[in-house]
Amino acid sequence: MKYIAFIAITVIMNACCATKSDKKESGDLSEKYASTITAEELKTHLYIYAGDEMEGRMTGTKGQKMASEYLRNFYQDHKIPSPIEELNYYQPVPASYFKRVKDPKDSENVVAFIEGSEFPDEVIILSAHLDHVGVDDEGNVFNGADDDGSGTVAMLEMAEAFKQAAEDGNGPKRSILFLHVTGEELGLYGSAYYSENPIFPLANTVVNLNTDMIGRIDPNKADNPNYVYLIGSDKLSQELHDVSEAVAAKYSSDIELDYTFNDENDPNRFYYRSDHYNFAKNNIPVIFYFNGVHADYHKITDTPDKIEYDLLEKRTRLIFHTAWEIANREGRITADKL
């Protein structure tokens, strides 16, 4: 009896302590890899990605193809694989898919993938749209540095951080799909296409964290620029909302999480207006990260020099920590509000 009781106690103690130290270690690791996301690297990428050479990245144009190539080259250079086939990072979206678009052209979503070490079939999708609105009649470039150059370079930095973790033997337990969607500005086409032609079954898609415009300060927030608007986190999953809040409190307590636009009655209806909605409507929990509109929104003045790189770094790190927790926590996040 005694002996058995002794074993039982030992087992319980081990279970307790292993979990605790795992958690602590995992937290430190999240911090360690988040610190590789820097304002400087975000800025370097964004000056190229939103530079005049990309000609405003209008879906199907030469400039958009250059943007896609930039993303592909980044993943290739960092040895982050494609989920489709070796060295093929493009999910084609045919011209015929852009139904309400005049003179549509072939385009593509750009995808990269880090396979989970424990639950490879469970996929977390990080997304941002790769396209913008092109050039005006006089040939002025819409740089789209904030929209959505900011979300795009945030994804690159997060991918680099996860890849570094994987190389160190600390890769995510669940898989991460980096999904750069095309045709957002024309009507959320790339994300709609992915949701109808998913590379991994939607049933295995745990969450979509979508980032669109996180590099500026909403004039209404001038008194506290260190904030991010979160939209959708509690719509399908209380668990996701709670995890998101806990992660922010632990790692990014200086950032205010602002839920103004999460209100069902908000007239802007942002929940329905970016790519995450194509996942939400398939009952996949989402969080949309956003910093609001500003005077340069959809103007030729949305340029890289106006981006708040220090804030962009903080916001990107918050999203990374959230993805890290969802990828590494014991249980899969569920759509518990369905």
Q: Rule CB under 5 A: which residues touch Zn ion?
A: 147-148, 212
- In the chain the beta strands, taken as DSSP E runs, fall at 90-93, 107-114, 119-129, 174-181, 205-211, 227-231, 256-258, 286-290
| Nearer Cβ to Zn ion (172/292) | 292
Least spacing, CB of residue 303 vs Zn ion, in Å? 15
Do 67 and 130 form a contact (C-beta atoms < 8 A)?
yes
Q: 3-state class of 174 per DSSP?
A: strand
| Nearer Cβ to Zn ion (33/193) | 193
Least spacing, CB of residue 255 vs Zn ion, in Å? 21
Do 225 and 311 form a contact (C-beta atoms < 8 A)?
yes
Least spacing, CB of residue 232 vs Zn ion, in Å? 15
CA–CA distance from 13 to each of 23, 180, 201, 296 (Å)?
A: 15, 45, 39, 58
Least spacing, CB of residue 127 vs Zn ion, in Å? 11
| Nearer Cβ to Zn ion (108/147) | 147
| Nearer Cβ to Zn ion (122/302) | 302
Tokens of 94: 């045919």
| Nearer Cβ to Zn ion (147/296) | 147
Least spacing, CB of residue 75 vs Zn ion, in Å? 21
| Nearer Cβ to Zn ion (51/116) | 51
Phi and psi at residue 296, in whole multiples of 5°? -95, 5
Least spacing, CB of residue 74 vs Zn ion, in Å? 20
Least spacing, CB of residue 143 vs Zn ion, in Å? 13
Do 151 and 144 form a contact (C-beta atoms < 8 A)?
no
Question: 262-270: long-range contacts (C-beta < 8 A, 24 or more apart)?
Answer: 262/229, 262/230, 262/231, 262/232, 262/233, 262/234, 262/235, 270/229, 270/231
State the DSSP code for 333.
P
| Nearer Cβ to Zn ion (55/212) | 212
Q: Which residues contact 175 (CB under 8 A, 6 or more apart)?
A: 113, 114, 115, 116, 119, 120, 121, 122, 123, 124, 200
CA–CA distance from 74 to each of 41, 152, 188, 251, 272 (Å)?
A: 13, 12, 24, 28, 30
Q: 3-state class of 208 per DSSP?
A: strand
| Nearer Cβ to Zn ion (148/313) | 148
Least spacing, CB of residue 328 vs Zn ion, in Å? 29
| Nearer Cβ to Zn ion (319/335) | 319
CA distance 330 to 118: 10
Least spacing, CB of residue 51 vs Zn ion, in Å? 18
